[in-house]
Amino acid sequence: MRLHFFAGVFVGPFILIAALSGALYALTPQIEQLVYDRELHAPTVDEVLPLAEQIEAADAYIGDGADGADGAAPAIVAVRPAPEPGDTTRVMYADAGLGESTTRAVFVDPATAEVRGDLPVYGTSGSLPFRTWVSDLHRSLHLGDAGRLYSELAASWLGVVALAGAGLWATRYLRARSAKRASQQRELLRPNLAATGFVRTRSLHASTGIWVLAGALFLSVTGITWSQYGGANFSELRAAVGWTTPSVSTSLDGVGGPAADEHDEHTGHGHSHGAPTPSADVAALSPRAYDSVLSVAREVNVNTGLVEIRPPAEPGTAWVVQEIQRSFPTEVDAVAIDGATMQVVDRVDFAEFGPVAKLSRWGIDLHMGSMFGLANQLVLFAVAVGIAAMVVWGYVMWWQRRPKHDPSRRVGASPPRGAFRRAPWWGVLLVLAGAAAVGVFLPLMGASLAAFLLVDLAVGVVGRRRRGRGRERSRTPHLQR
């Protein structure tokens, strides 16, 4: 109870911001379609031009030397053909003036080669400026790496607060059932709106909490994988036990070499390095090569409309054609092709991923709302709003529990201490060992937990001293008489 209380009081603001910004992010795909309608859509036609002509139109629009290094033409990082009729093709260029994992995309009508827009896009998800802004707000409050500490605190403590709350809920439910208090059992499953004051707020808080519990735990676990310190430990753990996600190799000599990193399951939501920028030696590849490598890939394992074609990052490396479909059924197959011989040098198929790699892919896509489209987004929105409401109700309950006879007390007292003293020694050791293990794996959470304990101890010492002085003052008049 004390853990749930103190974590809720101190970490509640972080969880509230993360929940509200996450709820907004869940709606961004539809908002993006409306705001950037001209860039994303084109008149539907039966016949489209070859990619070469679309790329030539984009090159002509960009012009020689615009934002390129040393006055050279900007290098194409990737091309995304129009996935469906009525969509535009994206020709994506490196731009030194943009941030990490961000490219400059020229949107081309695939039927007429008309340039319909020019926007920065971020990551594999292809986020446009509005969604990127909301994503960065959710991830770091637009404060860079320092701001990411807020989201790590929120993701780490959300699961702890939820589990502690579930324990309190289960205790109250079992007590109500053993006492055959059906009304109290119902209040724990659906809010008692007929009640008033603290009872009503507690019913709202408890009943909502049990319904969003699974979603809160899921968001906590998957959110940690994006975090700055806990996420790094998670990646190291996966690498140590061989749970890494396969990547297609672009080496042409058959002995290792660089691997394409677009299989990074976090790409597009604040944790990617993006596609490598082609060097000057390969930046001027013939636009016709894009049609050729796509045709080869279609014969191997690329069979979806959502495709990204990346030219060689440097001389002696292969082209990569990658499926980027994040909705179910997941399609992230990739193939590496030698541009000189049009021979396949490597391939990766999602069907051959290990179970952990598949779960990681699915978990991230569910967290971002892309797995099941609108249904996924609406569930995320509901869970996020529920979490935000619970934080608010928690603070309201704290205020409603204030002692009415003491105007100097603006909030209620914290739950009584002493649980460790009443617990068996082995229980205390298990709790301490678990806290230490979690603290090592999630260092920011461990540091904040230590701070909570120090605050709790300080409050206890101050309280005992005040009570001691109060008893001394109450005895003094009696001794004088």
- The encoded tokens of residue 9 equal 């009081």
Question: What's the mean pLDDT when you consider all of the chain?
Answer: 87
pLDDT at position 181 is: 86
Cis bond leading into 329, ω under 30°?
yes
Alpha-helical segments (H) within 36-143:
37-40, 51-62, 129-140
Best-predicted range by mean pLDDT (68-72, 89-93, 193-197, 324-328): 89-93
Query: pLDDT tens for residues 258-269?
Result: 566 544 555 556
More confident residue, 106 or 68: 106
* Cβ-contact 157, 7 below 8 angstroms: yes
Could you tell me what percentage of the chain is helix, strand and coil, using 3-state DSSP and rounding each to the nearest 5? 55, 10, 35
Query: pLDDT tens for residues 284-306?
Result: 578 999 999 999 999 999 999 89
Q: What is the arithmetic mean of pLDDT over 145-172?
A: 93
- The encoded tokens of residue 179 equal 């006492």
Query: pLDDT tens for residues 38-56?
Result: 999 999 988 999 999 999 9
Q: Is the pLDDT of residue 385 over 70?
A: yes
The residues that bridge with 317 in the sheet, in sequence order, are: 251
* Cβ-contact 154, 11 below 8 angstroms: yes
* Cβ-contact 28, 39 below 8 angstroms: no
Query: pLDDT tens for residues 240-253?
Result: 888 888 999 998 87
Query: pLDDT tens for residues 87-139?
Result: 999 999 999 888 888 999 999 999 999 999 999 999 888 899 999 999 999 99
pLDDT at position 261 is: 52
pLDDT at position 64 is: 59
Distance CA 286, CA 5 (A): 63
pLDDT at position 313 is: 86
Q: What percent of the chain has pLDDT over 90?
A: 57
Distance CA 214, CA 365 (A): 17
pLDDT at position 465 is: 80
Q: Is the pLDDT of residue 366 over 60?
A: yes
Best-predicted range by mean pLDDT (248-257, 268-277, 396-405): 396-405
Q: Is the dihedral of CA 464, 465, 469, 475 positive or negative?
A: positive
Distance CA 228, CA 233 (A): 9
The residues that bridge with 104 in the sheet, in sequence order, are: 93, 120
Query: pLDDT tens for residues 4-33?
Result: 988 888 899 999 999 999 999 999 999 999
Q: Indicate the pTM of the whole model.
A: 0.87
Query: pLDDT tens for residues 410-467?
Result: 787 778 777 778 888 898 899 889 888 988 899 999 999 888 888 878 877 887 787 7
pLDDT at position 367 is: 95
Q: What is the arithmetic mean of pLDDT over 394-413?
A: 82
What does residue 182 show for φ and ψ, rounded to 5 degrees?
-65, -35
Burial of 464 (0-12, 13-18, 19+ CB in 10 A): exposed
CA Rg value for the chain: 28
Q: What is the arithmetic mean of pLDDT over 323-338?
A: 93
pLDDT at position 85 is: 93
CB atoms within 10 A of CB 29: 17
- The encoded tokens of residue 331 equal 């399609």
For the chain, how many residues are written? 481
